[in-house]
Structure 1
């Protein structure tokens, strides 16, 4: 009965009533749209805050997590919590060689949501140019170093840019200073992202005793290159860096040039002239502590035009180039190393020249190799 009344009522609606109804519906829809537009700035602002926090936590972790955890571990030995420190220290001794044996990567950590905010802050993109065969092992040469290797970490230490989807069957391992893996807690944090020590034992394990489909990512320029990074500079330290080529020949692993446009734009750095007093201090400290103490700044946490340690949100685009097939030679001659080193340099230069105008550089810009 109720259905019949409703149906009858619907039939008796006049055209003017229908128009008024449609008008009301449009006004409601318009109000909802206005409401959503009003909330967009708030949502956008919140996302930006989360992006800043995600980047800042990585920067602080890199700069202070190791020192803070070491101090806390020593301090706890002098308190009633000494047993916790003792247990962790004992476990640390037992687990000491794990970083050299493939580490302890965690898919859960590599897929944390925080890394998507990290990626979107700059933003960071990964571009694939050629397929990689899971039946081979690879050594990626990453350029340039930048201050904190944001592109290298985001692309190869997390899944934020979808490395495993772009390169199915390939497992990346970003290599960094071996000294980081002697520091409590920091070592576990790094290993969870698939990061390994950049030493012979670790790389030998990944390329010789861990099957195929492994890609060891080496920031070839290292600490010396970080002293040359600044916005607008396209300089890589490579001319006398041949160890990674010799290693590729010994293991029969293909070489893959990788270049990140925008990596040097994350911070502004004070670059001292070669031969100056301050540059000599930087070089000396680099030899002692393993990394170069750069004098740099980004933007402030609350005011974009102030100085701080938050990097500038300039795009970083990482291009993975074409692999260079390398034969396996257990004891390669210097001539053979020089041959493949020259091939690698040409491949990197071609990669840079092909993509430079697409990512903010001019046709006249060139890649300087030191």
Structure 2
């Protein structure tokens, strides 16, 4: 019993690592072997994140409304007042927590696939950066693990740099979810938030934008090497206006996490997906994996952070200037893909398709 309590106290302290070590002290007959236990924890860590992504926002919203109809209405009223007071915090750098980013649950999350982060060049703390992340995949597992947690050691590999993973602004209107996201250094992907980080938050900031967005997720499938980038130039214009360097990032294996039913262009189902994408801000995909289809396949995801492209500060860049740096970024991304593709299971003949 003392062993179990010791493990539980480790969870409360955020050390989490004591879970496995303490439970290992139990008699072998009462507990599975170490490797099997670790695999269970890995599956649980990924499952809780997927469920949180899919249902936490709705569940917390419904719970808050329900509490107003119970004797707990005062708690709901106080939290709602706090929401109103704290409404603009996500747009002003958020509320990052090193404790949350270093939870041991994220190391199990990392090891399930596993996910790795590879550095190719230094990022200087006296500059700001916009990191373009490709491809989107279904859930952006690589983006979250590498930039929303410390599981792959971002801060040690890039000292003096703070990553801010940009995601749908609508997520920050949901109770509890907004605080959970901000604790990982996640911010809304809107102009006000990114302007603040690149202009009013000093230097050493790296805003990570999943450039392809929801549209790209509709094309992802195992073995698919395709990015939606040809007409995505807003992030380049923003980099020029703020004088922030552009950094291409490519994750090999991101598209292998799930199988997806891809509907052909022109079909009713495809039209419905695009319609819902415009309304909701994300694309409802029909995908499946392990365990009732919700847990992703444990295929490796390797994220390569490429070489920074130095960008001058131009408050009103011309279209020609935007096109110039967009072309430079595109070539840099393709070079990054071609350089590392054979190391991570692709053939020399494989190419990166740009849509």
Please, which runs of 5 or more residues in structure 1 have no aligned partner? 1-35, 301-306
Q: What corresponds to 2:144 in structure 1?
A: 153
**Matching of residue 68 in structure 1 with residue 56 in structure 2:** no
Shift, 1:275, TM fit = 1.3
Q: 1-side partners of 2:97 and 2:326: how far apart?
A: 34
**Matching of residue 86 in structure 1 with residue 71 in structure 2:** no
3-state DSSP of counterpart to 1:161: coil
Q: Which runs of 4+ in 1 moved over 6 A?
A: 36-41
Q: What corresponds to 1:166 in structure 2?
A: 157
3-state DSSP of counterpart to 1:88: helix
Q: Normalised by the size of structure 1, how large is the TM-score?
A: 0.88
**Matching of residue 216 in structure 1 with residue 207 in structure 2:** yes
Q: Map of 1:1-370 to 2, 5 A cutoff?
A: 42-300=33-291, 307-370=292-355
Shift, 1:42, TM fit = 1.1
Note the alpha carbon deviations across 1:280-329, whole angstroms, 9 max, x for none. 000000000000000000011xxxxxx42000000000000000000000
Q: What corresponds to 1:28 in structure 2?
A: none
Q: 1-side partners of 2:29 and 2:64: how far apart?
A: 49
3-state DSSP of counterpart to 2:304: strand
Shift, 1:276, TM fit = 1.1
| 8 Å contact from structure 2 (residues 117, 303) kept in 1 | yes
Greater Cα radius of gyration, structure 1 or 2: 1
Q: What corresponds to 1:14 in structure 2?
A: none
Q: 2-side partners of 1:358 and 1:191: how far apart?
A: 35
Please, which runs of 5 or more residues in structure 2 have no aligned partner? 1-26
Q: 1-side partners of 2:266 and 2:329: how far apart?
A: 30
Shift, 1:37, TM fit = 11
Note the alpha carbon deviations across 1:129-172, whole angstroms, 9 max, x for none. 00111000000000000000000000000000000000000000
3-state DSSP of counterpart to 1:308: helix
Q: 1-side partners of 2:285 and 2:54: how far apart?
A: 12
Q: What corresponds to 2:18 in structure 1?
A: none
Q: 1-side partners of 2:244 and 2:306: how far apart?
A: 15
Paired residues in the alignment total 329
CA RMSD of aligned residues (A): 1.4
| 8 Å contact from structure 2 (residues 246, 329) kept in 1 | yes
| 8 Å contact from structure 2 (residues 287, 293) kept in 1 | no
3-state DSSP of counterpart to 1:250: helix
